[in-house]
Amino acid sequence: MNSKIKNIPTFWKLFPLIFILITVLIFTVKYGVPIEFLLTIGTLIACIIAYFAGYKWKDMENAFIKKIVDTWIGVLIFILIGIVVGSWMYSGTVPMLIYYGIKLIHPSFIPVTAFIVTSFLSIFTGTSWGSASTAGVAFIGIAQATNTPLPLIAGAVISGAYLGDKNSPISDTTVLAAIGAGTTLQNHIKTMLVNTIPSAILAAIVFTVLGFNAAPMNSDILNLKEASEILTSLDNIFNFNILLLIPPIFVLIASVKGVNPVITMFIGSLIAIILGNIFQNFGIINSMKSFVTGFNISMSPTINEADIPLNLHSLLNRGGMMSMMPSVLFLILALTYGAMLELLGTFETLITLLIKITKGRRSLIFITWLTTFTINSALSSLQFTFLTLGNVLQTVYDKYNINRGVLSRTMEEGGTLTEVLLPWTITGVYMTSILGVHTLEYMPYSFFNLISICISFIYMLTLPKFAVSKNYNYTNIKL
């Protein structure tokens, strides 16, 4: 590193972050300017500031490389998710779940069922991404077939996935939040229950009510005919067998056992390809293609594509590693932008400024939420956010006699629950690519996330003993 680095003024350290937050809200949300363009400009601005501060191009290049290397597994998981979706479509696993979902689940109960199923799946597997790319895709398919509003179902999937991810003892975000706050995993989870339980109950009620309100549009003769046509087409394209459940069962068990997610997803995909070649008649060459370009109805030698309902094309023709390339590109751009902010010391400066204006318990908890939200919305890295912010604020929470579990809970509420609701974050882009529903469309229906955030702010304002006190006996709360 160059030894002649100048002291960068606070404004210029924060400027690239301010630029992105403002331009995304103005140009992306209002005018639809691609976020990738703004990230590129934001990175360029940060590079110019770093150059005038004395950093050499080699310093910046090393920062880029380190950031990408440190998060390479995330890039690989992006690609593997595409492979999982393509192979599970090819095998007939996801189409079978859609088929029986249409037959067995009344349209009025689709939203609340999607919420509950993805909740339990995320709790057991510890991954919101995995739940969305498996059960989530199936429920989107069921919704398409029954003409249930897709944003509503996507919101239910997101809600369930993040309820489970936020509270699962094997979720990386749950563990990282506890480590960052310097508290035990048990205390962290129990502290979150004062928010999670009422939020989950209220979200389930809302999804149930909205499901019944959507029932009239699902029950007319035209839609029943469309659903019947889709069931017939699925039955003609695929040969369903209970053994097609092996891939998701394997992934579930492997995740619970703590097997590396990369290995788990790859083996789950291979099992699906083998089963596809046994039960379907698409051909071994097409099984290889499904890995790369995804499944396509045209792979069936006996089906005339013109006879297939149009909405079934968009439902089945998906997956493959190439489908994730736009998301991978976005990930790389976001990582290079984040690397420059770290090089400039943007986040350390932001944290220092916010701690200085802390005046009491309410402002401390609010600043924790706001700082978590700001850093993670810019960096899309819960690991960095939780560990950096948590380590700084541990002693501050002790000073105000607030349970450190409140620190970890607030970071989860400001980071884990909000990242998926923002269209410019890596998670937001990922969920849009997997579910086929834009972030701004499913955000109003992500009721668990939104209700949890509202309850979090209520606790900030009222400071009830059971929600903040360091001396409160959390063992009284039953898991």
- 319: alpha, beta or left? (left if phi > 0; alpha if psi -120 to 50): left
Low-confidence ranges of the chain (pLDDT < 50): 1, 216-222, 471-479
Query: What are the helix and strand counts (H, E) for the chain?
Result: 28, 0
Provide the whole-model pTM: 0.76
Looking at residue 476, its pLDDT comes to 40
Query: How many angstroms separate the CA atoms of 37 and 19, rounded?
Result: 13
Q: Tell me the pLDDT tens digit for each residue of 207-249.
A: 999 998 875 444 444 456 667 778 888 888 999 999 999 998 8
Question: Which residues, 6 or more positions from 48, have their beta carbon under 8 angstroms from its beta carbon?
Answer: none
Q: Please provide residue 130's backbone torsions phi and psi, each rounded to the nearest 5 degrees.
A: -65, -40
Reading the block at residue 160, the tokens are: 């369930």
Q: Tell me the pLDDT tens digit for each residue of 132-166.
A: 877 888 888 888 877 888 999 999 999 999 998 88
- CA quadruple 444, 449, 451, 452: dihedral, nearest 10: -160
Query: How many angstroms separate the CA atoms of 406 and 191, rounded?
Result: 7
Q: Looking at the chain, how many residues does it have?
A: 479
Looking at residue 222, its pLDDT comes to 43
What percentage of the chain carries pLDDT values higher than 70? 93
Q: Find the angle CA(398)-CA(412)-CA(433) to the nearest 5 degrees.
A: 160
Looking at residue 279, its pLDDT comes to 94
State the DSSP code for 175. Answer: H
Query: How many angstroms separate the CA atoms of 425 and 68, rounded?
Result: 16
Q: Tell me the pLDDT tens digit for each residue of 324-374.
A: 888 788 778 888 888 898 899 887 888 788 778 878 888 899 999 998 998
Looking at residue 82, its pLDDT comes to 85
State the DSSP code for 402. Answer: B
Is the Cα torsion angle 452, 457, 459, 460 positive or negative in sign? positive
The DSSP-derived string for 7-46 is PPPHHHHHHHHHHHHHHIIIIIHHH---HHHHHHHHHHHH
CB atoms inside a 10 Å sphere around CB 131: 27
Looking at residue 474, its pLDDT comes to 41
Question: Which residues, 6 or more positions from 359, have their beta carbon under 8 angstroms from its beta carbon?
Answer: none
Reading the block at residue 442, the tokens are: 């499913």
The DSSP-derived string for 216-267 is HHHSSHHHHHHHHHHHHHHHHH----GGGGHHHHHHHHHHHTT--HHHHHHH
